[in-house]
Chain A
Amino acid sequence: MNAIEVKNLTKYYGKSRGIIDVSFTVPEGSIYGFIGPNGAGKSTTIRTLLSLIHATSGSAEILGMDCLKDGHKIRHKVGYVPAEVNFYDDMKVGEFLKYSAKFYKKDGKARIKSLCSDLDVDMSRRISDLSSGNKKKLAIVQALIHQPPILILDEPTSGLDPLIQNKLYDVLREENKRGTTIFFSSHVLSEIQKMCDQVAIVKEGRILKIDSVENLRGSLYKTIRINFSDLKDMMNFEIQGSAGINYKDRQMEFIYNGDMNSLTSTLNNYKIENLWVEEPSLEDIFMHFYQKGE
């Protein structure tokens, strides 16, 4: 069974676009990246999965249950970290976590304690006094209390310092090892690269591409850097399949997804000083897609 299955999901807010025809499948036990810039429709998709908003058309299922019809049953099995954390300001952290645990008919005292110490959350503080980073940590603890088989994380690392970010990655990996499916939305590519098996790229409300993280980083895409002896050569150099071209002094850098042989044979006609062929970061590939789309 698939953990999450989204089919042709479309959401319009009145006339303005939310998402258009979004389809993807998250296999159980995977860490699935959901990436795109702000306003691409990541949160809209997630909020539809949690039935906070109602889709205009299309369907969404979690563990084979319809997100709208069986929403409350689904939410029993889902832990959710919102992009923007707003909890009850009048409550203390410990009090709030206890309240949250009550919904799952679990005491969770020991679990709360260990999560709070893992992520360095102070239970005695008032929620209104927490910084946005601390609120985020609280949101993460809250999402993990009932040990849900599915975690939906909307930009979980934004506002966290690098140390806590790494702790979060560790916690998530551990959860994943136990079989938890993680749906990880972000606009930071390096963490998707670090964490995910598969990734869906969204842009302007549509899915641009779905691929395994390995494939995206794999043989298709290379970062090429060339040092030319002659500036004129550099300006004349052109090849199919290049994108994101950058010039710096006599060095040219671009992402290449064409044939390697045609690159080397083309290079034969130029006098070059040095050549680098490197694994591009997902960030570069991502940029490349975006430029193509525009």
Chain B
Amino acid sequence: MAIYYRELIRNRTALIVWTVTMILFSVFLMTFFPTIREQAVELQKLMEQYPKELVAAFNFDRLQMADPMGFYGTQVYIFITLFGSIYAVLLFISILSREESEHTAEFLLTRPVTRTKVLIAKTLAALTNITIFNLAFGICNLILFDLYARGEYDVNILVLLIIGPYLMHLLFGAVGLLISVFVVKARAVYPISIGVVLGTYFASVVSTLSEDAKDLRYLTPFKYFDAADIVEDERIATLSLIVLGVALIVGIGGSLYFYSKKDIAV
């Protein structure tokens, strides 16, 4: 328990900065919504001038920006999944690599606790952070949409669009946790975190752009939690939930396994 609380306190500043920034950004985006709605017809025309594949890559074929859920799905959703995932990977990578790069692992692991307990306490703390982050962001957006577009959308779909990114963050978190065991150097943490998220995002774009790269969609979290899919199906696909479950099991199980065998460098 001591480790869990210590971890919450240690990550507090980052949590506040990320949450406040994301919320401010969504408030800022929302102020554009009335203008966009007014210019819906012009926007549609503009979209038609772009290549079909490109329009599809950013879901503008299936979602209408002038529609509240289309607006959320094409605007807010992209940045909360992109930036939120970077935050998630950073958070989970730092679980173990921070202790090692700052050489405090030596202190922590000479306490009378097993490595398994250390890892579980820290993972729970990271989960708490990412949950608070998504909860705060979600509530804010529920309020924003109620203010700007009451009655024009299905609240259930908005809730799904808020849960989607959260699950994606968890998926990235599982990946980060596993990386955490192997990446020790502090200067590698940022490039790897940003690289993983942008890389998989790029893969998701490419998978819609090109028929040949279609199968890439199975490798990127962005396709498992696609906004247009959620709006159209009104649910999160079972396959996505299974993939998430497997990722969590592999991420947590794998990190526990490798961490218990690992030599802690001086």
Contact = CB atoms under 8 A, between A and B. Distances in A.
Instruction: Please determine whether chains A and B interact with each other in the same assembly.
Output: yes
A102 B2 CA distance: 7
Contacts of B103: 84, 86
B261 A86 contact: no
Contact of A72 (B106, B112, B261): B112
A52 interface: yes
A103 B112 contact: yes
Contacts, number: 58
Interface in B102-121: 102-104, 106-107, 109-114, 117
A280 B104 CA distance: 41
A80 B110 contact: yes
A53 B263 contact: yes
Contacts of A103: 2, 111-113
Given A43-B266, A52-B263, A52-B264, A87 B104 contact: yes
Secondary structure dominating the interface of B: loop
A140 B79 CA distance: 49
Contact of A99 (B6, B112, B114): B6
B45 interface: no
B102 A86 contact: yes
A273 interface: no
Interface string B62-76: 000000000000000
Contacts of A73: 112
Given A52-B106, A86-B102, A71 B6 contact: no
Interface residues on B, range: 10 to 19
Interface residues of A, number: 28
Contacts of A13: 263
Contacts of A142: 107
A91 B113 CA distance: 21
B10 interface: yes
A89 B102 contact: yes
Interface string A50-86: 1111100000000000000001110110101010101
A247 interface: no
A88 B98 CA distance: 11
Interface centre among B102, B103, B112, B266 (most CB of A within 10 A): B112
Q: Nearest 4 CB-CB pairs, A to B?
A: A86-B103, A76-B112, A103-B111, A102-B2
23 contacts: A13-B263, A47-B266, A50-B109, A50-B110, A52-B264, A54-B263, A71-B114, A72-B112, A75-B110, A75-B111, A78-B110, A80-B110, A82-B106, A82-B110, A84-B266, A87-B104, A88-B107, A90-B10, A103-B2, A103-B111, A103-B113, A104-B112, A142-B107
